[in-house]
Chains A and B, each alone.
Chain A
Amino acid sequence: MLIPGNAEGGLLRLQAPISLWGGVDPGSGVVIDPRHPDHGASITGTVLAMPGAIGSSSSSAIMLELLREGTAPAAVLMAHSDAILALGVVVSIELGYPACPVLEVELSALDGVPEGALLRITSEGQVLRL
């Protein structure tokens, strides 16, 4: 559990690792990298399952902007912990803006869960299907 918290949202599984910087528009929460298989998808309000974070170290800044703008995911589930992304959430809390839970999760645990299924993240770090 990188950032604890309660959240609910529909599951969005990214099909490839993403760099938030250059990958997601903080104004709209939409995946803007045309090479990314989820190009055009909105991450806002989702339980975002990420196989990995890549690329730019500016991604913490994009995470902060997503949280300030209200375009952030409801929660992030990551296959590998990534301090760059989680740090954007830490700074958001320091500046008095919303947080979203970030969990390190074996993504195979979500096998069989359909896309868009409503999930609840508990402050104990459990991922429940509603």
Chain B
Amino acid sequence: MTLHLTTEDQALLAGDHGEAVSLAMRILVSAAELLSAQALIRVTSAHIDGCLYHGDGGVEFAEKLVAAGGQVAVPTTLNVGALDLLHPDTVRADPLKAAMARRQMDAYVSMGAEPTFTCAPYQIGHEPGLGEQVAWGESNAIAFANSVLGARTERYGDFLDACCALTGRAPLHGLHIEQNRQAKVVVDATNVPDALKDQDVFYPVLGTWLGLEVGREVSVIVGLPSTVTRDQLKALGASAASTGAVALFHVVGVTPEAPSLDAVMSKGGSVRQITLTADMVRRALRRLTTADAVERIDAVAVGSPHFSITEFEALLNLVRGRCMAVPFYACTARATLRELEERGDLLVLHEAGIKIVADTCVVVTPILRESGGVLMTNSGKFAHYGPSNTGYEVVYGSLEDCVESAVTGLVARTEEIWSW
């Protein structure tokens, strides 16, 4: 099985469209060979994860593309960076690292990518359609694009995402191919009480369990209500892509490729069936809290993936006229921030003591106070990455729990809904 390149692919590789495209094609071809892909396909958009600073190598790579004349070939959005460019005091980075982080963000903008700086481009108007071939990075965005939108992307990491954007191509493999999108695992959530399945707080827990259980396999979930929201699916996918390598899950009657169980069940090979039990759900719930016995919290963070405008509406209803006793961070896209500003909602949030973080978030860059302590969150992804990336212990709860706890500084959690 060898990689077949078209005449046009070969011209890009040979440098007919400049040195940056040639470099991008070399890496793309190496990746395609690593993946045993037989061809490259054209993609209609890219989402670049590579603008987040992890070290000087990422800056060097991006600036090498810029110096070689690199420009994106398809509409391209940018993931979070390591700085909040709208609120420069938010991030506690040392000046040298901050300067490098800024260079990395600027490099991708100068290559023609849109400065969206969000991990959830799908909620600010960038929504590829059903069956559309795209090349997206950022694990939650990948899961959302594949699962909720029915677009087709594989898990593109740093570098390859940029190479896809500069060439407008991706290796034809994995989830780009129809038959690989069929489910090998069926999860039956029928037994979970409807009262729990109606709550946002259930979905990060379900995702945490799903990622641990299925790893990289495509799954299909039955027994979720048809009223499940996009924010709930976003939270499910983000958690599953944190504890596992989940890039696609189907929900029967909800996600576009799963009008029925039959439509997405793998036709060849064995299919594993799992009935979701109370014990499985409670074990996943416990995993999201590392500071179980604490009474006080030191901070709250919401917005991983970035808070949507509907999530802000829920937050506004909870905090209006109240005052937070501990730092409360809501991470979001600059586009969503602009919308809040236009609606006049920003003042209400500021008065309640909510700190808006744009372009970045609290687990990818130093924002939380250095003193450390206990971070409460309603995000499965924050709960997963918080301890290793911030040094804070974490407590998981609903958005309502987070607000009630932030008002007093004391942990308040609704436990009853988890018993059945």
A residues at B contact (CB < 8 Å): 2-3, 17, 19, 21-23, 26, 32-35, 52-62, 64-65, 67-69, 80-81, 83-84, 86-88, 90-92, 94-95, 97
Contacts and interface: CB of A to CB of B under 8 A. Distances in A.
A83 B245 contact: no
Interface string B151-173: 00011111111000000000000
Contact of B388 (A22, A52, A60, A81): A22
Interface of B: 23, 26-27, 30-31, 34-35, 49-50, 52, 54-58, 60-61, 64, 137-139, 142, 154-161, 211, 215-216, 241-245, 287, 290, 363, 384-385, 387-389
Given A55-B242, A94-B26, 5 more contacts: A19-B242, A22-B384, A57-B49, A68-B57, A94-B27
Contacts of B138: 57
A58 B31 CA distance: 16
B245 A52 contact: yes
A58 B241 CA distance: 12
3 cross-chain pairs, A with B, having the tightest CB-CB distances, nearest first? A65-B55, A60-B157, A84-B157
Contacts of A68: 55-57
Nearest to A55: B242
A33 B388 contact: yes
B32 to A, nearest CB: 9
A19 B31 CA distance: 19
B137 A57 contact: yes
A35 B387 contact: yes
Given A34-B387, A80-B216, A83-B34, A58 B60 contact: no
Contacts of A84: 155, 157, 160
Contacts of B64: 95
A95 B245 contact: no
Contact of A17 (B54, B142, B215, B389): B215
A79 to B, nearest CB: 10
Contact of B34 (A26, A58, A87): A87
Contacts of A80: 216
A53 B55 contact: no
A95 B57 contact: yes
Q: Chain B's interface: helix, strand, loop or mixed, by majority?
A: helix
Given A34-B387, A91-B27, A61 B158 contact: yes
Contacts, number: 131
- Most interface-central of A17, A58, A62 (chain B CB within 10 A): A58
Given A26-B55, A65-B57, A87-B27, A57 B142 contact: yes
A53 B35 CA distance: 15
A86 B34 contact: yes
A17 B142 CA distance: 20
Contact of A55 (B50, B61, B139, B287): B139
Contacts of B242: 19, 55-56
A69 B54 CA distance: 12
26 contacts: A17-B215, A17-B244, A22-B384, A22-B388, A33-B387, A55-B139, A55-B244, A57-B137, A57-B156, A60-B160, A61-B50, A61-B52, A64-B57, A65-B58, A68-B55, A68-B57, A69-B55, A84-B157, A84-B160, A87-B30, A90-B30, A90-B31, A91-B61, A91-B159, A95-B60, A97-B57
A54 to B, nearest CB: 5
B387 A87 contact: no
Nearest to A35: B387
A83 B161 CA distance: 12
A94 B23 CA distance: 8
A65 B56 CA distance: 8
A2 B49 CA distance: 23
Contacts of B57: 61, 64-65, 67-68, 91-92, 95, 97
B388 A34 contact: yes
Contacts of A97: 57
Contacts of B216: 52, 54, 80
Contacts of B156: 57
Contacts of A83: 31, 34-35, 154-155, 157, 160
Contact of A54 (B30, B154, B244): B244
Given A53-B245, A83-B35, A87-B34, A34 B290 contact: yes
A92 B159 CA distance: 11
